[in-house]
Structure 1
């Protein structure tokens, strides 16, 4: 529904922007639900002809599909120590493996671990969606991840890719059941909370609660919760381990991920840590499903990305 309305509003304001009398500007708004109104604006530099303005806007809007959806890629890791030839048996086995993972996702699987090949040419793969994501979005994310990981890491047998909705990796090493903290990605909101002592206490309490949920065998590795921390702010947090981990290994991964908050995310309004074995995130807006009827309050704020490498 949202994407359809977004497409309609861009069609309308693009047609306004290309009119010579508009100064290159088009803007509009539309009420989507009782809680949400969509606002959009486009503008071209006024030296452009209507045709050139239309071309520029079309290209800009095309970028939304790849970058501005919830399936946006968060990062990838191509292990430069695992170089393979594109014509090797290992490379062919990776293609077979990824095709098998995609097939299982098309059949409704939200977690897949698989292997393909024999002997030293065997490759292992894992794909998992965030536990709150529906099966359709999961399937689309895994399909895209399988395609992009080969494009981004064509000559590495060890490769990983992270999205908002899913994670996928493949390797010649059998990593199933092992905690992998060798490489991590961190994002934080550069804006800070106004009362850090109270906020950090509430954040610690919340992670204690959702960690205990995530390590239960019946949870699928997922823990999430929300709590009102002021009259105007609600804290949302989610953790998840890959489902091949034991409860103890899951707890170990989450503990390391959360430890990064103290040094890197301290007092930030939002932060996430992504490892190959677990994922941790908190925000002051709803980001997991089911969503509540409000928009992120991030006006004027931006995210900072960093990488963790443990030797």
Structure 2
């Protein structure tokens, strides 16, 4: 019996070391932080609730790369939100979320709140009710080192693109709330951008969330850079001068109204002139008939 117990202990120890090695080999998070809401103890109810959520995450994510849930009550309540980039395939999304959850627990041991992600997914968990919030809450700023050429013009064209994409994300596919596209900046420089909200947000909340994110750009080190990101718990946006999303699933933003000015003018002229021309022909026909009867 003693030998059997020793074998089991060795097996458990081996598996534990193996799991630790796998987690240690995961790439560093692209961004991440540990909250200030305190720590949990190893045998606490909160830890059990959090583990239940994190373990089930990959299988719970829907086809649109989103999942949110809460378990427990009061101080033992654990909440989690996960979101994958809108152009990422489901299995790739699930693998990304699995890796983030493993890495966050390693980076933030015993802490009740943490957030982080890779380029293709993000995860936030907390002992506060993050699943009930609907507003923008800034988490991270990311930026490239290089400055954009003619920053003033660059930011102007970027702003136009982001505003157009915001409408598509908020009022487009309600299951994904994602939009991506590109524009031409100064010196014929390409500008690529994507915006995204968590799919559970109503259109107006998504629109407002992205509006707040855009307004926060003045505080971001990415201002005037060739690329940057502002990431919130409920919405985020990213831009750069090179493609960073799948171009085959680009959501083309509607062009500004002024670009279709000539077409609209032609349509207006046709609408106005057409009926008038018809009336003139009708009157002329009546006149001819009346003159014929007199003769």
Is the shorter-chain TM-score for this pair beyond 0.5, marking a shared fold?
yes
Contact 1:101 1:114 in 2 (8 A): no
Post-superposition CA distance 1:23-43 (Å, at most 9, x none): xxxxxxxxxxxxxxxxxxxxx
Equivalence map 1:1-311=2 (5 Å): 66-67=26-27, 73-105=29-61, 110-118=65-73, 120-179=75-134, 181-216=136-171, 218-219=173-174, 220-229=176-185, 232-264=188-220, 265-290=222-247
**Structure (1 or 2) with the larger CA radius of gyration:** 2
Offset of 1:130 from its aligned partner? 0.7
Output the CA distance in 2 between the equivalents of 1:108 and 1:249. 22
Offset of 1:206 from its aligned partner? 0.3
Post-superposition CA distance 1:199-236 (Å, at most 9, x none): 22211110110011111262422121112335652110
Q: Secondary structure at the match of 1:83?
A: coil
Root mean square deviation of aligned Cα = 2.4
Output the CA distance in 1 between the equivalents of 2:87 and 2:201. 19
Listed as ranges, the gaps of 5+ residues in structure 1 are: 1-64, 293-311
TM-score by length of 1: 0.65
Post-superposition CA distance 1:28-67 (Å, at most 9, x none): xxxxxxxxxxxxxxxxxxxxxxxxxxxxxxxxxxxxx854
Cα 1:245–1:231, aligned 2, differ >3 Å: closer, same or farther? same
Offset of 1:174 from its aligned partner? 2.1
Offset of 1:273 from its aligned partner? 0.9
Offset of 1:172 from its aligned partner? 2.3
Cα 1:201–1:112, aligned 2, differ >3 Å: closer, same or farther? same
Structure with bigger strand share is 1
Offset of 1:108 from its aligned partner? 5.1
Output the CA distance in 1 between the equivalents of 2:80 and 2:241. 34
Cα 1:165–1:251, aligned 2, differ >3 Å: closer, same or farther? same
Output the CA distance in 1 between the equivalents of 2:37 and 2:83. 25
Offset of 1:261 from its aligned partner? 2.4
Output the CA distance in 2 between the equivalents of 1:121 and 1:195. 52
Offset of 1:90 from its aligned partner? 0.5
Offset of 1:89 from its aligned partner? 0.9
Post-superposition CA distance 1:169-206 (Å, at most 9, x none): 22222222414555421111222222233222211110
Aligned positions, number = 223
